[in-house]
Amino acid sequence: MSETKSAIQDLEVITIENLNKWYGNFHVLRDINLRVKKGERIVICGPSGSGKSTMIRCINRLEEFQEGSLIVDGIEMIEDVKNIEKIRKDVGMVFQHFNLFPHLTILENLTLGPIWVQKKPKAEAEEIAMRYLERVKIPDQALKYPGQLSGGQQQRVAIARSLCMSPNIMLFDEPTSALDPEMIKEVLDVMVELAQDGMTMLCVTHEMGFAKKVADRVIFMDAGQIVEENEPNEFFNNPQNERTQLFLSQILQH
């Protein structure tokens, strides 16, 4: 019994069942059901206000929810600070506006988590940080401050900062929406590499090229619900729902 259970948990890293969330009286997430397997790459799209960011922010408990259950890596999300901290150590997050810490150097931004949360010695943390900075191709910026970097570089640092905590799951909340067109590519390249390495990723984005290239599944949300989910080819070429068709026709027109 326990063996089968753990096998399911190995396979399924995120299980969301009947999740409902309200902001005051506003029902933002309605009966969300989502299962994510290990190594799966999911792209979530939808109009603004559809609840897509709110949903992924529930996964590392930046947002509370009122009903339903959410299990991340076998840890049930309940009102327990210990569990929340455990989940946060397991889940990395990249934000639209990077949210680097402006008073710390790039290297300090990266080593903060490993040193204070994982209690690693400073030298080891710095070694890890440099490894990830190399991976996002900006090791030469280590001693600068975030304000001295371009948006694309900052977002790559933000990705590296999350990776330094060696998460099992990465959440991306519109990682390229605040970037100039010329910088989007450098960030997407890093994300594609990450996807190829087998990281479990949930990515809220409207970069449909990225979705086609790496996603295992595309989820379309509107009005707080999951309207449609499918593998990318089917999703783009043969959308089942009228709402999805309308959305796709609008974003793919240009």
Partner 1 sequence: MNDFQPIEARPAPNQAVGFVAWLRNNLFSSIANSIVTLLVMGVLAYYIPQFIDWAFISANWQGTSEDACVKEGACWVFVNAWSYQFFYGSYPAEEVWRINLTIVLLIVVIIASFTLPRHIRLKVSIGAWLLLPIVGIAILDGSWLGLEQVSTDLWGGFTLNVFMAAASIIVAFPFSFLWALGRRSQMPFIRSVSIIFIEFFRGVPVLSLFFMGSVMLPLFFAEGTNVDKLIRVWLVLIFFMSGYMAEVFRGGFQAVPGGQYEAADSIGLSYWQKILLIILPQVIKISMPNILATFVMLFKNTTFLLIIGIPEVVQTLQTALSNSYWLGGHALEGYLFVFLVFWASCFSMSVMARRIEHKMNTDKRD
By beta-carbon proximity to partner 1, the closer residue of 35 and 89 is 89
Strand 91-94, strand 75-76: pairing: unpaired
By beta-carbon proximity to partner 1, the closer residue of 165 and 199 is 165
Question: How far apart are CB 130 and partner 1 at their closest, in Å?
Answer: 18
Dist. CA 156–CA 151, nearest whole Å: 9
Under DSSP, the state recorded for 101 is -
Question: How far apart are CB 213 and partner 1 at their closest, in Å?
Answer: 26
Dist. CA 37–CA 236, nearest whole Å: 22
Question: How far apart are CB 147 and partner 1 at their closest, in Å?
Answer: 4
Dist. CA 92–CA 126, nearest whole Å: 18
Question: How far apart are CB 225 and partner 1 at their closest, in Å?
Answer: 25
Task: Kindly list the residues in this chain that would bind partner 1 in the complex (CB under 8 A).
Answer: 60-62, 85, 88-89, 91-93, 95, 97, 99-103, 112-113, 116-117, 145-148, 158, 161-162, 165
By beta-carbon proximity to partner 1, the closer residue of 167 and 232 is 167
Place of tokens 């991306």: 172
Question: How far apart are CB 112 and partner 1 at their closest, in Å?
Answer: 7
By beta-carbon proximity to partner 1, the closer residue of 163 and 208 is 163
By beta-carbon proximity to partner 1, the closer residue of 160 and 218 is 160
Distances (CA, A) of 28 to 33, 71, 192: 14, 20, 30
Question: How far apart are CB 214 and partner 1 at their closest, in Å?
Answer: 22
By beta-carbon proximity to partner 1, the closer residue of 84 and 223 is 84
Evaluated on CA atoms 147, 149, 152, 156, the torsion sign reads negative
Place of tokens 């593998």: 231
Dist. CA 184–CA 202, nearest whole Å: 18
Dist. CA 46–CA 114, nearest whole Å: 35
* Contact (CB, 8 A) for 40 and 48: no
